[in-house]
Amino acid sequence: MSESESEDEILDRIEAALRKIGSLSKPAGGDGLDRAALAEGLDHVITRLRAALDTVPPPETTE
């Protein structure tokens, strides 16, 4: 993710990633999905995103 990406582009990337994750929840074949491992991985990603957002200064308002 680069500094030049707009908020819409970032949201599009997040949406695409979530769609890809969602497609994993539909097992193809006899092997089931390890939902516990997936949930743990998602929790880890969410924790990292929250930590990154905490370091971002609030946007400047022009009033």
Q: What is the pLDDT of residues 34-49, one digit of tens each?
A: 777 778 888 888 888 8
pTM for the whole structure: 0.48
Q: How many CA atoms lie within 13 Å of 50's alpha carbon, on the beta-carbon side?
A: 6
Residue identified by tokens 């695409």 is 16
In this structure, is residue 11 part of a structural domain? yes
In this structure, is residue 62 part of a structural domain? no
Residue 49: which domain range?
7-54
> What pLDDT is attached to residue 40?
84
In this structure, is residue 39 part of a structural domain? yes
In this structure, is residue 63 part of a structural domain? no
Residues 46 and 52 sit within 8 Å (Cβ to Cβ): no
In this structure, is residue 44 part of a structural domain? yes
In this structure, is residue 59 part of a structural domain? no
> What pLDDT is attached to residue 10?
84
- Residues (pLDDT < 70) of the chain are 1-3, 24-33, 63
> What pLDDT is attached to residue 26?
60
Number of domains in the chain: 1
In this structure, is residue 50 part of a structural domain? yes
